[in-house]
Amino acid sequence: MEIYETQPERTDLPLVVMPVIIESMIEPFEKNFELLKDIARVRMYKDFTLDEDTIVERCAEADAIMVIGFHCADSILDRLNAKCYAFGGTGVASYIDLDKAKERGIRVCNVVHYGDHAVAEHTIALLMELARQVGKLDRQVKTGDWDGADGYELYGKKLGIIGLGGIGQTVARIAGTLGMNVSAWNSHVSEQVLTDLNVTPVDDMNELIAGSDVVSIHLPLLDSTKGIVTAQNLEALKPGTMFINTARAEIIESGALLSRLQRGDIPAALDVFDHEPLAADDPLCSIPGIILTPHTAWRTDGAYVGITKQVVQSVAAFCKGEDFNVVV
């Protein structure tokens, strides 16, 4: 296992450790480490593991930790002395106990608006798979099956977006070019934005869901949004309505989505889950007509550029006594 280090001789500088890394993010991170010259030394482990003991061992001497792709459980916080955790993503509340971090005087940073296009494009990819079953058709042809399958035309269909932030707006823009009629709940945006996107605001979530052919979740995970989509809301889904979540699983009331999908009348595509990684024997995996991807909506070359720079900037600011993308 290879270790990449910068300024290893500068033991007078704070040590920043990246205990695991996704291979495709190595190069963009290395390009941005120049921002830490004479500010902090970096130790990056060029592999990926979710083994907690390994992560703790690698971070034992760290003053700050760059977090890519793993959850900082309380047991990790309890075993380390680092005072800054810079997350390469949003929705950090699902990766670390923010209250506990605050109590211990630990700074937690995230990144912002790095993946609006990445996540929106993945949302559309999932929608296309639900509508046209490209993966299934590919497998059919490769096994000599030429029967095909009927598709679901998106032109003229109604898309209901729950959460019209940067990602939701990008989804709305793409869906509009496909000829879909777009409505949105939680659309705390200006009238000009709604006009520009040709989006109709709907104040009642049940009304939005009941009136949509496709429902897509794009809310950030905050204390105010955790469990905001309830079992009662999901009852408004008409049989056959497509349901997509590329935001956070915790936005939906615990257990409510599984219960609704187990009836077998809602085609769904999910990139986020209550427990990650998802076990092969999870009940979701046995529901027909459900498409599952391993929380990869954010993983694109373009998103990596924004993520890596902001993570390094967060650490640099911490080491200089400044603020950048601070959550707590």
- Which residues are annotated as catalytic? 248, 276, 295
**Residue 160 contacts residue 208 (beta carbons within 8 Å):** yes
Measured in degrees and rounded to the nearest 5, phi and psi for residue 167 equal -70, -45
**Residue 59 contacts residue 65 (beta carbons within 8 Å):** yes
Question: Hey, what amino acid is at 288?
Answer: P
For 68, residues 6+ apart whose C-beta sits below 8 A from its C-beta are 18, 20, 21, 22, 25, 88, 311
Residue (of 44, 53, 50, 54) closest to 23 by Cα position: 44
For 42, residues 6+ apart whose C-beta sits below 8 A from its C-beta are 4, 5, 6, 7, 16, 17, 18, 33, 36
Beta strands in the chain (DSSP E): 3-6, 15-18, 41-45, 64-67, 84-87, 107-109, 158-162, 181-185, 199-201, 214-217, 242-245, 268-270, 290-292
**Residue 258 contacts residue 283 (beta carbons within 8 Å):** yes
Question: Hey, what amino acid is at 185?
Answer: W
99-112 per-residue burial string, b: 16 or more CB within 10 A, e: under 16 = eebeeeebbbbbbe
Strand partners, 65: 17, 85
Question: Hey, what amino acid is at 316?
Answer: A
